[in-house]
Amino acid sequence: MKVVLFCGGLGTRLREHSDTIPKPLVNIGYRPILWHLMRYYAHFGHKEFILCLGYRGDLIREYFLNYRAEMSSNFVMEEGGNSIELLDDHSIKDWKITFVETGMHSNLGQRLMRIRHLLAEDEMFLANYSDGLSDLPLNEYLEKVRSSGAIASLLAVRPSQSFHAVRTDDRGYVTDLEEVASSDYWINAGFFCLRREIFDFLNEGEELVLEPFQRLIGHHRLFSLKYSGFWAAMDTFKDKIALDRMEARGDCPWMVWRR
């Protein structure tokens, strides 16, 4: 299936790291988080990507136009550089990537509408934010989506933040305090699977997960998989540091291609 990745956000909460690099190009180790996500999908055989560009889309284009697997892989060089043998499978030669400018300030629904013509012949397609990683068994997930008959599906995960949920009575007295991460509270983690009928529920200017998904809920056509495995988003500079440290330790659950 084609994989639509939303790469156009401003990434304002990562400006502490850089105010010029778009979030999808922020590295984990030696490679951008966007590469990690695409490599995840490619592992399951989904190698046709549509990148919805916006803020600093030129840098994303440049990264792939000048991509060299040798710069982030182990390799053997012979004959003064005329022969190079990669020791790691990090080539993207069999990937097909379509780059589409979808607007600087467009929301997800608008970006999706602007690539609708590229999905006209697809019964189903995948879509995702470009800042989240998981070890989700994708094939098992897609089997459940297909059997559900849903028009759209999303991954639900427990929040990783250290917030406390507060419950009070009518007078303002606290009746309960509970860590959000250990509560029965689930958040949208992306990893969407969409049927082409999604465009029947999406109007121009609407945000994908608001009005269209509310309409699908009313028709019982929105499916969600609760997943307790690994998921992490690079939302802030703190998140980047955490992922960098995991990569440095070799503790990278999202690298399912290493198994």
Residue-level pLDDT, tens digit, the chain, 259 residues: 999 999 987 655 555 555 678 889 999 988 999 999 999 999 999 999 999 999 899 999 999 998 877 666 677 877 766 777 776 767 788 999 999 999 988 999 999 999 999 999 999 999 999 999 999 999 999 999 999 999 999 999 988 766 677 888 888 888 877 776 666 788 999 999 999 999 999 999 999 999 999 999 999 999 999 999 999 999 888 899 999 999 999 999 999 998 7
Query: How far is residue 234's CA from residue 217's CA, in Å, rounded to a whole number?
Result: 28
Tokens of 102: 């979808």
pLDDT attached to residue 251: 94
Cα–Cα separations (whole angstroms), residue 40 to 12, 45, 136, 222? 25, 9, 10, 24
Class of domain 2-258: alpha beta
For the full predicted model, state whether its pTM sits above 0.85.
Answer: yes
Phi, psi of 169 (to 5 degrees): -90, -175
pLDDT at residue 13, as a whole number: 57
Using CA atoms, how far residue 221 sits from 36, 56, 122, 125, in Å, is 30, 35, 18, 16
CB-based contact 114:164 (threshold 8 Å): no
Query: What's the Cα-to-Cα distance from 200 to each of 3, 6, 152, 208, 212, rounded to whole Å?
Result: 20, 20, 12, 12, 9
The CB density around residue 156, as the number of other CB atoms within 10 Å, is: 17
